[in-house]
Amino acid sequence: MNDYKELPLRIGVGIVLLNKKNKVFVGKRIDNPENFWQMPQGGVDQNENLLQAAKRELEEETGIKSVELVKELKEWLQYDLPKNLLGKIWGGKYRGQNQKWFIMNFIGKDDEINIKTKNPEFLDWKWIQVSELPKIAVTFKVELYKKIKEELETLKLY
């Protein structure tokens, strides 16, 4: 597939969910159960508000509703899929994602978290230090996670 660069980017959202100790929620994907973790993310439905999409995706993937918005990142962050995943994900329609990220505080209790959802995406979940983000990400998302880590560091949360 040589024409993958001509494929569009999928519009998506991502959620940096922080607990009361300013640790970040990450889940281990069912479709990639190696030692890679990711923050909740997903696509935006047609005519859907980006913040609403982020809250919907968060609830669909984790069961979490108890959140408050801290910040919407100004810039859009994007990643391209590696060649071995092109044509396999999202019906082969996209080469990667262009995402709007939101930082949110989790104001509930951990027992609200339920990854055994209707269409589960995660096998497991945990809270990690912000500094760990680039180390746990799948290779093609490392740069994106580094940018998010830098953004979180500017908030001086810890």
Split into its structural domains, the chain has a count of 1
Task: Report pLDDT digits (tens) over 43-67.
Answer: 999 999 999 999 999 999 999 999 9
Domain that holds residue 103: 4-154
CATH number at residue 26: 3.90.79.10
Give percent above pLDDT 70 in the chain.
96
For residue 89, the model assigns a pLDDT of 84
What CA–CA distance (Å, rounded) separates 50 from 55? 9
Tokens of 85: 């995943």
